[in-house]
Amino acid sequence: MDVKGRGVLVTGGASGIGASVVRRLSLAGARVAIIDRDADGANRIADEVAGLALVGDVADPDIMPMFTSVVEDRFGRLDIVFLNAGTVGGQPGTSELDVEHYRRVVGVNVDHVVYGLSTAVPALRRAGGGTVIATASLAGLLPLASDPIYTLTKHAVVGYVRAAGATLAEEGIRVCALCPGFADTPLIAEQRDQFGEFPLLTADDVAGAVEAILDHGQGGEAWYVQPGREPGPYGFRGVPGPGSGARPPALKWGS
């Protein structure tokens, strides 16, 4: 995909995977805006790539609409949205529950993806189509026993993308999920020593998978990324339907 001159919005772009994607797409000629709570980090990366830094909390329902509008006005169009901001669950979630922290995790990992996609779609329509990539995780495809809440949120992202992608593809809007394994980024900094010799992805490995999705990804796909393997769409097994063989109706909601 030729990204030269395209308008790009990246959440969580001040470090790790987000920053690597910002650098790659900027180098390829895209005009990139970064949303992050880390003002210093966002401004540093924006200065590096002559991009636009926007400081805010993506879990706030007002942030994505406001900044999407800013980006569209500044760049004249919005073509690619990388909904990458995320956080770990940090608690078992099966006995004592820190409700405030739980709501924070859901707000960043799930709500921000919904806010981001629903806000981006009208802008992408105005541009004649585009791509939205939401960072999930292998925990969106498989259970991560050490973090059930994180697993819950990433399964939600994968399910949302698969359902939304099928409909939006008809309008030339691709929606895909990115499902990397463990990556050596600030997200796992406190647990880094526990991995020992276990192979970790680099942020640039994952950014390469983003480029691959932009090149030939299809709407509704969830792409796995693992060390030593080429990234690709995960093949979901079909679920048995009714014994009668009847297909479910295509329901329409609202008036």
Could you say which DSSP state residue 198 is in? -
Choosing from 115, 150, 160, 224, the catalytic residue is: 150
Could you say which DSSP state residue 201 is in? B
d(CA 119, CA 111): 12
- Tell me the CA distances in angstroms from 211 to 2, 24, 59, 69, 204, one per residue in order: 10, 8, 26, 25, 11
d(CA 51, CA 31): 6
d(CA 245, CA 79): 40
- Are 120 and 81 in contact by the 8 Å Cβ rule? The answer is yes
Residue linked to tokens 């709501």? 103
**Tokens read off for 136:** 């999930």
**115 flagged as catalytic:** no
- CA-based nearest residue to 221, from 212, 41, 230, 57: 212
How many helices (H) and strands (E) would you count in the chain? 7, 8
One-character DSSP codes across 19-52: HHHHHHHHHTT-EEEEEES-HHHHHHHHHHHT-E
Active site amino acids:
150
